[in-house]
Amino acid sequence: MRAGDLRHRIKFQKLVSGMDPETMEPIEASWVDVATVWAAVNPLSGREFNQAKSVQSESVGRIVIRYRSDIKAAMRCIHGDRIYNIQAVLPDPKSGREYLTLPYSEGVNDG
């Protein structure tokens, strides 16, 4: 992987929920920053479709980052004002520890 390909600054977030320690009531889940890294963001395709009597749009693509052990498919990425929902975390085919490929979707269920 060439360092010049990693030209986008992205932020990973995870959904955190819990309980209020005083009242023991559930706290509304919120997205919390986990890491900020350099990445290659590559859009692949997009589509429009009807759902719930409205027109929705969705784009898909992939994000490539250097290997990290703390990235999970339940997280999301923020790049500028765009939200990318991570679909999977795929290690590189040779060593499995050089880089990660993260297929994403955007536009439907932006969290």
Q: What is the CATH number of the domain that holds 91?
A: 2.40.10.270
In a domain, 8, yes or no: yes
Per DSSP, the three-state class of 98 is coil
Q: What is the DSSP string of 16-77?
A: EEEE-TTT-PEEEEEEEEEEEEEEEEEEEEEEEEEETTEEEEEEEEEEEEE--TT--TT-EE
Q: What's the pLDDT tens digit per position in 100-109?
A: 999 999 876 5
Res 90 pLDDT > 80: yes
Angle value at C-alpha 69, between 66 and 73, nearest 5 degrees: 90
More confident residue, 111 or 100: 100
Residue 50 lies in a domain: yes
Picking from 10-14, 52-56, 67-71, 86-90, which range would have the lowest pLDDT averaged per residue?
A: 52-56
Is the pLDDT at 96 greater than 80? The verdict is: yes
Average pLDDT over residues 89-101: 93
Residue 86 belongs to some domain of the structure: yes
Please report whether residue 80 resides in a domain.
yes
This prediction's pTM: 0.81
For residue 76, what pLDDT is reported? Answer: 96
Six-digit token string for 91 = 């290690």
Q: Could you tell me if residue 62 is inside a domain?
A: yes
pLDDT of residue 24: 83
Structural domain total, the chain: 1
Q: Is 79 helix (H, G, I), strand (E, B) or coil?
A: strand
DSSP summary character for residue 99: E
Query: Could you read off the pLDDT of 18-77 as tens digits, one per residue?
Result: 888 888 888 888 999 999 999 999 999 876 666 666 766 778 999 999 999 999 999 999
What's the domain range around 55? 3-106
Asked whether residue 111 is domain-assigned, the answer is: no
Instruction: State the burial class of residue 93 (Cβ atoms within 10 Å of its Cβ: 0-12, 13-18, 19+).
Output: exposed
